[in-house]
Amino acid sequence: LIILGFAKEVWNHVEIEAEDYFFPLEPVINFCKMADQCQHDFVPICGQDSLGITRMFNDNCDLYEYNCDEKKQYRHVKIDVCKYEAAAAERTK
Asked whether the whole model's pTM tops 0.75, one would answer no
For the segment 30-70, what is each residue's pLDDT rounded down to a tens digit? 999 999 999 999 999 999 999 999 999 999 999 999 999 99
Chain-centre distance of CA 62, in angstroms? 9
d(CA 30, CA 18): 19
- Multiple choice CATH, 15-91, 3.40.50.720, 1.10.1740.10, 3.30.60.30, 3.10.450.50: 3.30.60.30
d(CA 40, CA 59): 7
Rounded alpha-carbon distances, angstroms, from residue 5 to 53, 63, 85: 32, 21, 33
Percent of the residues in the chain that have a pLDDT greater than 90, as a whole number: 56
Domain boundaries, the chain: 15-91
